[in-house]
Amino acid sequence: MSMPSDPSATSTRITRWLCCPECHAPLTVNGSEILCPSSGFRGSIRDDVAVMLPEATESFFDDTFEFMMHGKLNPGDWSFGYAQQIESLTRSLKPGMLLVDVGCGPGLPYARPDGVEIIGLEPSFKSIRVNRQVDLRVLGSAYAMPLADASVDAIVCFYAIHHMVGDKVNDSISNLSRAFREFGRVLKPNGTLFVFEMTPIALFLCLQALGWNLGRRLIGKKLDMRFFSAKEVKAIGEQTLPRGTIHEMTEFKVSPAQPSHLFSACPGLEFRGSCTRWHRGFTNGECHPSERPVGGHVQSNECLPRAA
Ligand SMILES: C[S@@+](CC[C@H](N)C(=O)[O-])C[C@H]1O[C@@H](n2cnc3c(N)ncnc32)[C@H](O)[C@@H]1O
Ligand SMILES: [Zn+2]
């Protein structure tokens, strides 16, 4: 489904849905200028994209764009990477919800569910400017989301967290922790976070642990991915998401005989065979009913301690 661009609708959505990525204050839009009167942050509207990164020059994630556009998915790749995951995502979405697709790339792998509004957040300008399936295109990053506290119903992140790398393994862990803190901040009470990601086999993880820092030193930003183990993602979620968040881990298994070329074209690395066989969806579910804040104006999405 393709969304027509309409400058006045874009400005309205920016003021309605977005806030300053630095101080979270409301924004003003004047023509193509976006301004935070509190911090002085300036963004812009370019090609109908809300540019919310301080500098919107070339992003090295622009490389991913070529792959995302030209890597045609075969049916095997689809069942491996998306079919079951999308079913689990769309089952939870209801009309009236606001969904943020973090690292949405140039196109959504799922049909927009009826009545659900979608913000696409993406640090590659090349990618986000051609994504016509979202209601608002935002050039931005998961590390500093231009969204107010407790403002969205759901977040989905398809295969983006393995790109949240820094120069060392520990930087990648801090980056993902920053992203998760942001996810916890912007989700409404009872909101849901879906993180779909590959979890490579143990041998691959061992090799990655031994060689990633060196690889990054040698080939720099060409090594633009590092895979988290399911255990690491769970631990980061537990440390960063609001108290009382329920974690659900679902393993999406595919046949070991399944050929997959889905990830073979990523720059800098080539994956084939068993390391891409296992998928886990990491779902950060709702507060337990006894932990939901009741009544009043909710400032944060922190769940209340469970009643004894
Ligand atoms: C493998 S692509 C997946 C694209 C899309 N979600 C899909 O499944 O078709 C990973 C995406 O994550 C984006 N990404 C990388 N770092 C990010 C960050 N800090 N915040 C948000 N997205 C990021 C990349 O630009 C890229 O578009
Ligand atoms: Zn500000």
Q: What is the pLDDT, as a whole number, of residue 258?
A: 52
159 CA distance to ligand 2 middle (Å): 30
Note the ligand closest to the C-alpha atom of 197.
1
pLDDT tier for residue 206 given thresholds of 50, 70 and 90 = confident
233 or 249, greater pLDDT: 233
44-53, 61-70, 150-159, 223-232, range with greatest mean pLDDT: 44-53
Q: What is the pLDDT, as a whole number, of residue 71?
A: 47
71 or 136, greater pLDDT: 136
Which atom of ligand 1 is nearest the CA belonging to 104?
6
104, 126 Cβ separation under 8 angstroms: no
CA-wise closest residue to 262 among 274, 272, 254, 275? 272
Mean pLDDT over each residue of the chain, to the nearest integer = 78
Q: What is the pLDDT, as a whole number, of residue 182?
A: 96
The set of long-range contacts for 165-171, using a CB threshold of 8 Å and a minimum separation of 24, is 165/216, 165/223, 165/224, 165/225, 165/226, 167/216, 168/213, 168/216, 169/209, 169/212, 169/213, 169/226
195-199, 283-287, 299-303, range with greatest mean pLDDT: 195-199
Q: What is the pLDDT, as a whole number, of residue 302?
A: 36
Note the ligand closest to the C-alpha atom of 26.
2
Residue 120 has pLDDT above 60, yes or no: yes
Q: What is the pLDDT, as a whole number, of residue 298?
A: 26
Q: What is the pLDDT, as a whole number, of residue 277?
A: 30
pLDDT tier for residue 253 given thresholds of 50, 70 and 90 = low
Pocket residues: Cβ below 6 A from ligand 1: 61, 64, 68, 102-105, 109, 121-124, 127, 141-143, 158-160, 163-164
Q: What is the mean pLDDT of residues 16-44?
A: 97
pLDDT tier for residue 36 given thresholds of 50, 70 and 90 = very high
User: pTM value?
Assistant: 0.84
For the chain, domains (ranges, CATH) are 49-288 (3.40.50.150)
Q: What is the pLDDT, as a whole number, of residue 149?
A: 95
Residue 269 has pLDDT above 90, yes or no: no
Residue nearest to atom 27 of ligand 1 (CA): 105
Q: What is the mean pLDDT of residues 248-271?
A: 47
Q: What is the pLDDT, as a whole number, of residue 202?
A: 75
Q: What is the mean pLDDT of residues 59-71?
A: 56
Q: What is the pLDDT, as a whole number, of residue 1?
A: 47
